[in-house]
Structure 1
Amino acid sequence: MKDLDRVVAEIAEEMRTRPDRGRVADYIPELARADASAFGIAVVDASGHVAAAGDCDAPFSIQSISKVFTLTLALGMVGDRLWSRVGREPSGSRFNSIVQLENEHGIPRNPFINAGAIAVTDTILNGHQPREALGEILRFMRFLADDNQITIDAAVAASEQRTGYRNMALANYMKSFGVIQNPVNFTLGVYFHHCAIAMSCRQLAMAGRFLAHSGRNPATGYQVVQPERARRINAVMLTCGHYDGSGEFAYRVGLPGKSGVGGGILAVVPGRASIAVWSPGLDDSGNSHLGRIALEKLTKRLGLSIFGL
């Protein structure tokens, strides 16, 4: 893409000096330790060129961004049968809300809110021990990013397990409806640990390449998922990837994307690029404040929105 390196460097510098940085997540104690001044960005285009700036190589807890990859794995295991356990509609509620579960008989609204991701994790766990399921998820992430250095942040995982009472409530409530089929502590253990995977912007952008190229890794030609499945995962990212801020993200950025409360966002430009940004300060919906602003600037300056200029 013309001017990609220059635009990425300019945006990183603009974000570095902005005073409005959002608020770092503190309900998971270990995440509260993040440096609110950090900002990183990486863009991988179709040729494999990486434009990166700022704290692009600093690892951070990807949190809910991992749900894109667990959804991909679960669909590979059970196909469209997954949609009998989790919906595909925007929630309009907080990412950890229990209200809709009560109204909708324990079926989570989509795979990117916490309840939905716990149900997806339970699908991956079927027939496996927790350690095996978690190993499968981690191997998949390393394979996609072509980087065996990706690890799980044990301190973050332990912090989530100590304080994840609302997630425990969500899982137990779904268990009462038969949506969760494995022991709740097994499912939650895998869930907490895959949310605690640590990656840099560069690694995350590399891992997301297959979604930008019809399910294929353009570097190797390997077909990770079929084009139709990649298109549908992108569709759910567009409509549900930012919790109750998904509409605002689509309106301002115009790309499929998935955020995490660690401050990261993975975004996809179909046919052109995968993008990762990171800034730990969050907005009121739990999405990276500067991350969204940076992506909005990037799509405007390079004409990347899927909705046109």
Structure 2
Amino acid sequence: MRKPPQNPHDLSRHDLPDILGTIDEEVRQRFGEGEVADYIPALACVPKERFGMALVTLDGEVHAVGDAREPFSIQSISKVHTLTLGLEAVGDDLWKRLGREPSGDPFNSLIQLEHEKGIPRNPFINAGAMVVADVILSHYDQPEGALLHFMRGRSGNPEVGRDDEIWESERRSGYRNVALANFIRSFDNIENDVDAVLDFYYLQCALRMNCVDLARSAQFLAADGRCQASGKRVTSEEQATRINAIMLTCGTYDAAGDFAFHVGLPAKSGVGGGILAVVPSVMSLCVWSPALDEKGNSLLGGYALHRFTRMTGLSVF
């Protein structure tokens, strides 16, 4: 008589601390690979030899390894959270101003905006995140406070805040972002003052959090939209599913197909070296290693997630 197949989502089958420890050892043997995001001057100073990884199960159990509690600049990972706020503000009307397709181009490209008349391809490229920022500015009385309240509430860390050095560095060096925002405005797809939109965008990218904070902050996406710690519904089950889908198809820039092939999880990366990922109905997790590959994703962070899904079978495929 054949045995029934094992359920890969049964976490009792896995020694998670041992798995994370093995991954940590493997990653540290590869230190030196990749390059930090030196086009943002403040990020150019971050040491490459860092690696942290944390996961949070649906019941709130935390497993962490390496530099998982060292804060870093979350950069574009924040686009997951602002997308959630934008959808809560205007619902599906958001998609009248944004697409949901992979871009196939670098995250700061202007090319598609010309052809597609100021409608960004998805909310996770820079142009798309600026449109989401514009929506938040229009629908929240205190946009910055709303974002900080959301991030602190989801992470359980009341100290989450802006890294002023990163914020100033992005403002001084963000010429392409200025061009993107003004170009979108020329098509009337930004309604607020362009400088205000950019300031909010730089704020969200300059937030400092660690792997544990970020893994906790995405737990609601693994739990059908509900914060397991507080019992509060953060977003609807349908919207949580949609956000996960966009993370899978668009969350790692123009490497989303390759990432799905090697890792197979909804994820969002940032040029600060973090990658936030979700195993629906199981856990949320975050890795951080500052050195990037040629697409702007953490090189060793991507490797760590690849090893995790291969060692556990915890993939959506």
Smaller-chain TM-score range?
over 0.9
In structure 2, give the amino acid aligned to 1:107: I
The residue type equivalent to 1:80 in the other structure is: D
Partner Cα distance (2:278, 2:72) in 1: 19
Runs of 4+ aligned residues of structure 1 deviating over 3 Å after TM superposition are none
| Alignment-derived partner of residue 102 in structure 1 | 114
**1:124 equivalenced with 2:136 (yes/no):** yes
User: Alignment identity in percent?
Assistant: 54
| Contact preservation (8 Å) 1:21, 1:37 | no
Unpaired runs of 5+ residues, structure 2, are 1-10
State which of 80, 85, 97 in structure 2 corresponds to 1:73: 85
User: How many angstroms apart in 2 are the aligned matches of 1:20 and 1:38?
Assistant: 10
The 1-side partners of 2:271 and 2:186 are apart by: 28
User: Aligned match of 1:150 in 141, 160, 166?
Assistant: 160
Q: Is the CA contact 1:215–1:226 (under 8 Å) kept in the aligned structure 2?
A: yes
Whether the 8 Å CA contact 1:42–1:276 is kept in 2: the answer is yes
Which residue does the alignment assign to 1:243? 253
Cα distance per residue 1:125-178 (max 9 Å; x no partner): 01567xx21111111000001110111101000000000000000000000000
Distance in 2 of aligned mates of 1:280 and 1:127: 34
Once the 2 structures are TM-superposed, how far is the Cα of residue 10 of structure 1 from its aligned partner? 1.2
Q: Who is 2:74 aligned against? A: 62
Instruction: Spell out the pairing of 1:158-177 with structure 2 (5 A cutoff).
Output: 158-177=168-187
Check if 1:233 corresponds to 2:233.
Answer: no
2:65 and 2:26 map into 1 onto residues whose CA distance is 11
Q: Secondary structure at the match of 1:24?
A: coil
Cα deviation digits, residues 165-203 of structure 1 (max 9, x gap): 000000000000000100100000010011100000010
Alpha-carbon distance in 1 for matches of 2:23, 2:138: 44
1:290 has 2:300 as partner: yes
Cα RMSD (Å) of the superposition?
Answer: 0.9
Is 1:91–1:110's contact at 8 Å kept on the other side of the alignment?
yes
Query: TM-score if structure 2 supplies the norm length?
Result: 0.95
Letter in 1 for 2:113: L
> Does structure 2 retain, via aligned residues, the 8 Å contact 1:260–1:287?
yes
SS at match of 2:42: helix
Give the TM-score taking structure 1 as reference length: 0.97
Contact between 2:105 and 2:254, CA under 8 Å: does it hold in 1? yes
Q: For residues 65-111 of structure 1, give each alpha carbon's deviation from its aligned partner in whole angstroms, at most 9, with x where no partner exists.
A: 00000000000000000001111000000000000000000000000
Pair 1:214–1:103, CA change in 2 (3 A): same
Letter in 1 for 2:79: K
Supply the AA of the counterpart residue of 2:68. C
Cα distance in 1 for residues equivalent to 2:241 and 2:228: 16
Q: Distance in 1 between matches of 2:107 and 2:101?
A: 13
The one-letter code of the counterpart of 2:19 is V
Shift of 1:17: 1.8
Task: For residue 118 of structure 1, give the secondary structure of its aligned residue in structure 2.
Answer: helix
Aligned pair 1:44/2:56, yes or no?
yes
SS of residue matched to 1:42: strand
